[in-house]
Amino acid sequence: MIRSLKIHLFTLVVLMLLSGNELFAQILKTSKPNVIIIYTDDLGYGDLSCYGNPTIKTPMLDKMAFEGIKFTQFYVAAPVCTPSRAALLTGCYPKRVGLHKGVLFPQSTTGLNPKEETIADLLKEQGYTTACIGKWHLGHQSKFSPLNQGFDTFYGIPFSNDMSRKEQVAMQGEKTNYKYKLPLMKGKDTISFEPDQRYITRDFTKKSVEFIKRNKKKPFFLYLAHPMPHIPIYASPDFEGESTRGPYGDTIEEIDWSVGEIMKTLKTLDLDENTLVLFTSDNGPWKVFKTEGGSSGPLRGAKGTTWEGGMREPFIAWWPETIKPQQLSTAIINNMDVLPTIAKITGAKLPEDKIDGRDISAILYGHDMALEDRPFFYYSTKGKIEGIRKGAFKMILREGVPQLYNIEEDISESYDLAGQNPEMVESLKKSMIAFDLQLEKENRPVGTY
């Protein structure tokens, strides 16, 4: 009977091979999971309904959080674009890779050193097809192209969406001497200037879906970096005027739609159970633009500051059948942890050069990890170290004056405890300065053009 069963199974396999049956392709599909990172620009901690926003509707992200794990203490390594993105893709503090002093501009002559190993580099070595779609902002010259950083394809803009003569004229008038135009690029080629930003979220979503469909039979890594909701904010006609929150809400709700399109595509192609999707942002909201900027929710401060509102972000992880649904994690983690975590999950080798992130895959799998003893160092846009988070406490040093907060009890950083804990303040200050000096000794050359 057993021998007969083996013969029938063998016959079935042969028939399926000969017929090119899709089911057999699914049976033989790679065990390596696909990876998607959705990285928004200037999204605030309080901008999603699943993080408490009462007027912006984000049903797709709410669903993603409900079906996966939502983190409440996820930090980025810097409160502005370029350093944060460098940290995400390299697993390093921005100072370690020389991109800690602020954002890059069209006149900048530096970028992420091509010798640095990115998430895309690691996964490409594992046979992944890789794509960067959206905003890059790690150097716009050909030398710093995503194609030289492990990505097979790039479709998007090389820096922020306000670095555009058209937008500067709109904000400052014709007297502005701003001369740079915003390029839309495919690979290393500029295919147009000043793209209609009303359709930019939709366009990048469409390109992402096409990439997923083209690579459905092999492992892929998609880095979808939305330029929105960085000012100037735009939404397509389908979303314009639809949100109670006004134009900013329209923009967020279209990003939510985009997330839904990615999830729907994965489910339609039966790829959802073999795909890890991560959603977060590069830094806090740009509050200087008031209603055109986002919300930090209960957090103090915003973009460009080392207050919680500048560096704590929404972070959602979704991987059906692997990540258990309805999870809430208060673990203190950051965007540098993404690279080593993905490396662990995919079997990729970590970079030979030192990194600062830590593998947190155990948390995704539903296990506890002892992370409380790990300090987090916060950097300003000028690259100056200003604070340290260790356990429940955060100390920041402003103009030489230390402030201490119990973040677990005082999320809004309202009650300074420095005067009551001089020994703790001194200990944290010494640790912060020592680490900064260590980084200066260990930092690697920034890319120069």
Per-residue pLDDT tens digits for 194-219: 999 999 999 999 999 999 999 999 99
Can you give the pTM of this predicted structure? 0.92
Please give the pLDDT value at position 369.
80
Question: Residue 272 and residue 251: Cα distance in Å, rounded?
Answer: 26
Residue 18 predicted with pLDDT over 70: no
Q: What is the mean pLDDT of the chain?
A: 91
Average pLDDT over residues 304-310: 95
Residue 385 predicted with pLDDT over 70: yes
Residue 29 predicted with pLDDT over 90: no
Residue 12 predicted with pLDDT over 70: no
Residue 20 predicted with pLDDT over 60: no
pLDDT digits (tens, 9 = 90+) for 178-196: 999 999 999 999 999 999 9
Average pLDDT over residues 232-257: 97
Residue 307 predicted with pLDDT over 90: yes
Please give the pLDDT value at position 24.
35
pLDDT interval class at 174 (50, 70, 90): confident
pLDDT interval class at 380 (50, 70, 90): low
Please give the pLDDT value at position 402.
96
Verify whether residue 132 is a known catalytic residue: no
Single out the catalytic residue among 100, 132, 137, 140: 137
Give Cα 305 distance to the centre of its chain. 18
Single out the catalytic residue among 81, 92, 100, 226: 81
Average pLDDT over residues 98-105: 94
10 or 125, greater pLDDT = 125
Verify whether residue 100 is a known catalytic residue: no
Of 61-75, 246-260, 286-300, 411-425, which range is least confident?
286-300
